[in-house]
Amino acid sequence: MFAISSLPLDPRALEALVRTDACGAVTTFCGIVRERSDDGRAVRGLSYEAHEALALAEFDTIGAEARERFGDVRVAIAHRIGDLTIGEIAVIVSVAAPHRAAAFDACEYAIDELKRRAAIWKKETFVDGPGEWKANDCAPARTPSR
């Protein structure tokens, strides 16, 4: 249910790992390499490195925490390493649960905690200059618009 891979990631494969007939909801988040950095510079691509054993252990911990917080949820996480180009999937979190609220909440929790805690590092490579390593960070918590 947890993987670090140098090969392209498939969201449907992760969904298949978590889905059961007891689950009425599957929520999947895909983090995709975009063409602009947060400061607006044009990006050529991203490069990821990971301490695989530590990252996988953290994925497992995050999955256990999601079950404690949100109940009967099944969590799968996969992250790419190596060089990625614009449009490629860098990370996938897929969560299945009996009901949608738990699936959405657990999915958001898992990606936010992964970004905060996993031993994975990202380097942005820019079109007009050298690359730079980015902090493992999350956007500030948001308030749902419901």
In this predicted model, what pLDDT tens digit does every residue of 136-146 receive, in sequence order?
765 444 444 43
Instruction: Give the orientation angle of helix 100-117 with respect to helix 52-70, to 10 degrees.
Output: 150
Rounded CA-CA distance 74/91 in Å is 17
Q: Decide if pLDDT at 47 tops 70.
A: yes
| Residues 5, 51: Cα–Cα separation, whole Å | 12
Task: Read off the tokens for 88.
Answer: 């490629």
pTM of the prediction? 0.92
**Pick the residue with more confidence: 129 or 39?**
39
Residue 58 in tokens: 């953290």
Question: So what's the pLDDT on residue 137?
Answer: 65
Which CATH code is given to the segment(s) 2-128?
3.90.1170.40
pLDDT category at 135 given cuts 50, 70, 90 is confident
Mean pLDDT across the stretch 92-107?
A: 98
Strand pairing class (43-50; 25-32): unpaired
Pairwise CA distance, residues 8 & 88, whole Å = 8
Confidence at residue 138, expressed as pLDDT on a 0 to 100 scale: 56
Helical spans, DSSP H, in the chain? 11-18, 52-70, 100-117
Q: How far is CA 72 from CA 49, 76, 110, in A?
A: 32, 14, 14
**Exposure b/e, 110-132, CB count within 10 A at least 16 = b:** bbebbbeebbbebebbeeeeeee
d(Cα 26, Cα 102) in Å, to the nearest integer? 10
